[in-house]
Structure 1
Amino acid sequence: MSDHDLVLGLECRLMNAWPAFDYQAYEGWILRFADGYSKRANSATPLMPGARLDDALVDYMVLRFLDANVRPTFRLTGLQDPSVDDLLRSRGFLEVEPTCVLTAPVRGDCEPDPEVTIEPQVSKRWVREAAQSYGGDKADDATLIQIVSRIRQKAAFATLSLDERPVAWGLGVVERGFVGLYDIVVAPDLRGIGLGRRVVSSLMAWGCGEGAHTAYLQVREENEIALSLYRAFGFSQAYRYTHRVMPGGA
């Protein structure tokens, strides 16, 4: 499998696992909108090797973002033509949030942690508690439940409880041999004691049981704690992406 094939395959799975509310396609680019919740669902992403941009197309796509009240954001995965980054930089688009896409082989035990509950459908409780633990701009449980309710692949909504108290959450989505791990979050007062590791382990075990041979996830480059956790599970970088955002927002 070539590098472009891997990137394209994972990007397609990512879009299926984290659905937006609206999609628009322009010359090898896909625009996604989800009321501003998460950059991956509110950005323009290349879906064709060598996808290009010119000033006119950038102008047109920017207007579509502004119509949707979303900050114009280009998510650059390496599939695009090298000239794209130069064009966006010359127009003042700022580079933010470099992110690693990691993969790891799924092997061994296919039994989740007995204290981790795996549900095939999202519940209001899962969304509410996960969103509260995230906090900040990801505390919007109303938008989160709209996104995850649109997942059409087989999904696992994981909750780790200690003494009947939910303390950590995660989402797994299986598609064509890959299990994607999303929204791994631990209650703020209990971070750093290995609870996230148990959720990751359980979702990988669930993926194993569903026939997945590879796990994948995304993590910001600056998040050394998470990177260390994932490396311990055998994850390594498949590719990285950055964002170019319009200064000042929408």
Structure 2
Amino acid sequence: MHLELILLLVCTGLFTGFAAGLLGIGGGMLLVPFFTFIFTVQQFPADHLVHMAIATSLTTILFTSMSSVYAHHRKGSVIWKAAFMLIPGILIGAWIGPTLAAMMDTRVLAGFFGIFVTASALQMLLSKPPEQAGTLPGIPGMFAAGTGIGTLSGLVGAGGGFVTVPFLTWRGVPIHKAVGTSAVMGFPIALSGTLSNIYNGWGLPDLPSGSLGYVYLPGLFSVVVSSMLTAPLGARTAHKLNVRQLKRVFAYVLFLLAGYMIWTALKS
């Protein structure tokens, strides 16, 4: 692996780790565009660029989610009953998502990701809590919700927070408990989605060296290690700054990244 590629990946991890710690978000929506750019520069196979970016981004959550869950659990912010009701559907959906992605042209997948990130940025920018629709549904309803959340998360390579938190708050869960419960979803989404991405990319002859299915292992480990260095710094910085204003800035950054992915989808 070239030194240039290592430096690009490490810098990506440093930035996304800091942003995740600062704003309390997962790095998936940042990582996918950055991975797409880096893999393009390195001339990875065009047909698999976005698939690899999404798969590698999703796999990072396996390593970064546990500390977040523990922190939320210590604060009493996790509704474990709700989490366990969502997880079966999450596991199924997170397998389905990458399977659907594997059937999609890489440009279509890039466009879908761009639209999703645009919607997420609008949600962050407006910061309007959804109107509540009563209590949490029963087991069938939670299973269906988990399947939908897992499928979408597996498609875009994210931990599901931008879908899970609005769903839980819509069903009457206080926001801090919705965030804590949503954090629990990261690991099962990443586990099932990673296995699906390995399976769906297994044996493809033109993937670069170091790939495990669609997961690019050098990118995975470079980003995980470097992001762990800066995430605590981001969390400490959050207590000193106006995070509401930072989230607005971050929303505009997401718009730019979404624009890049949409441009990737439209270019010939």
**Alignment TM-score, normalising by the size of structure 1:** 0.28
Greater fraction strand = 1
Q: Which has the higher contact order (CA 8 A, sep 6+)?
A: 2
TM-score relative to the length of structure 2: 0.27
**Would you tell me which structure has more helix in proportion to its own residues?**
2
